[in-house]
Amino acid sequence: MNKRCKNPNLSRTILSKVKVGVLDFSFWRTFVFAIGVAVFLQLVHAQENFTLLIDRESGLLRDARAISVAPDGTIYIADTGHHRIVQVGADGTLLGEIGGLGKEHGQFQWPIDVAAQQGTSIWVSDFGNRRIERFTRRFTWQGTIEIPSIDGDIAGQPGALAVTAMGDLFVVDQDGQRLLKFNPLGILQAEHGAHRGVRWVSQIDNLAANSEFGIVWADREANLVRRMDLFGSGLGDLGRGQLRSPERVAFSERTLWVSDSSGILRADIEQGEFIRILETQTLQENGIRKLSDFACVNNSYLYLLDGSQGQLWRVSLLSK
C-alpha cells in the first residue's frame, strides 16, 4: 500500500519554490543576455557609422589642416604638407587638385584653410605666400587678396577664413592679430582688433559664417564660442560652462557644431544649448588620433579630418 505525504502543503510549497527559482534564473539569464546583445549591437552600429574614406596608406594627404564641403557635396581639403588643394567626392575618390610649391597663381606655400561652402568660388588661405587666392570650382584662378600691413610694406599673414552666402570674406591676419572683412570685390571694408572693433581676435584659430547667425570662432582659453554679426558688432558668447578647450567650429543649416577636448557637440542656433554627439574616446576607438578639422553636411554626415595620419572619415548621424 502506497503511503501518502503527511503534509501535502509542504510538497506544493517546495514545488512552488523550485518553479520560482527556475523562472528567476531564466529571467536573469534572459535579461543579462539581452543586455549583452544590446551592447554588442551598439558597438557594431557605432563602428558602422564610421567610414574611412582616405587612409594613410594612400599617401594622398600630408599634414592636412582644413576641410570644406561645397553645396553639391564635393569635399575640398587643404593638403598643407603637399602645398595643394585636393578635391574629392563624397566617397573619398580623388576628383582633382591644384597646387605645388611656388608663388605663381595655382601654386601655394603651406595652404592652411579653404572655404568652398558658399557660392561658386573657392577661397584658399595661402599662408606662406601671404595672400588669399580665389578659384572657380574647376580651379580657374579668379583673383588674389593681400592682407594690408599695419607697419611696413610686407603683407599680413592670413590664417583662418570664412565666406558668407553674400560673398563677404572674413579672414584672420595672424601678424596683426586682426579680423578683416572684404566685400565680394575684394575691397577691405572693416577690421577688428589692433584697438579697433571687437577685442578678442588674438584668440582666433578658426572661423565659421552664417548669414543669419553671424561670424563665430572658438576661444580655447575662455572655453566658449565668440560671436559677432556681419557688421562687426559683438553678439555675446556661447557655450559658457558647457565647453572644454573648444578648437573648431562649423555650421550646417541652422546648427552650430563645435569640437572640443571632450568630442564634438552641436547646438541649435536659436537655443544655444550644446549637446555632445561624439565623445573623444569614441573618435579614438575608431582610429582618429587628432581631429584637425571637420565639416557637417545637412545635419546628416560629419566629415572628420585627421591630418596627422592623413585620414578622412565620414560619420553618419542619421541614427543619432
Range of the domain at 231: 56-316
Residue 180 in domain = yes
The H or E element containing residue 12 is helix 8-49
- The answer to whether residue 8 is domain-embedded is no
Domains: count for the chain: 1
Residue 232 maps to a domain: yes
**Rounded Cα distance, 77 and 130, in Å:** 19
Give the CATH number for residue 74.
2.120.10.30
Terminal C-alpha separation, the chain? 72
The reply to whether 33 falls in a domain is no
- pLDDT at 29 (0 to 100): 55
pLDDT the model gives residue 200: 67
Residue 268 lies in a domain: yes
At residue 81, the pLDDT reads 97
Please report whether residue 50 resides in a domain.
no
16 domain residue, yes or no: no
The sign one gets for the Cα dihedral 108, 307, 256, 73 is positive
239 CB neighbour count, 10 Å cutoff: 24
Question: Is the residue at 82 inside a domain?
Answer: yes
- pLDDT tens digits for the chain (320 residues)? 444 445 555 555 555 554 555 445 455 555 444 444 343 334 334 444 999 999 999 999 999 999 999 999 999 999 999 999 999 999 999 999 999 999 999 999 999 999 998 878 999 999 999 999 999 999 999 999 998 887 767 788 999 999 998 899 999 998 888 899 999 999 999 888 765 656 667 678 899 999 888 999 999 988 999 998 888 887 888 999 999 999 999 999 889 999 999 999 999 877 778 999 999 999 999 999 999 999 999 999 999 999 999 999 999 988 54
Length of the chain: 320
pLDDT of residue 45: 40
Spatial CB neighbours of 286, under 8 Å, sequence gap ≥ 6: 46, 47, 50, 313
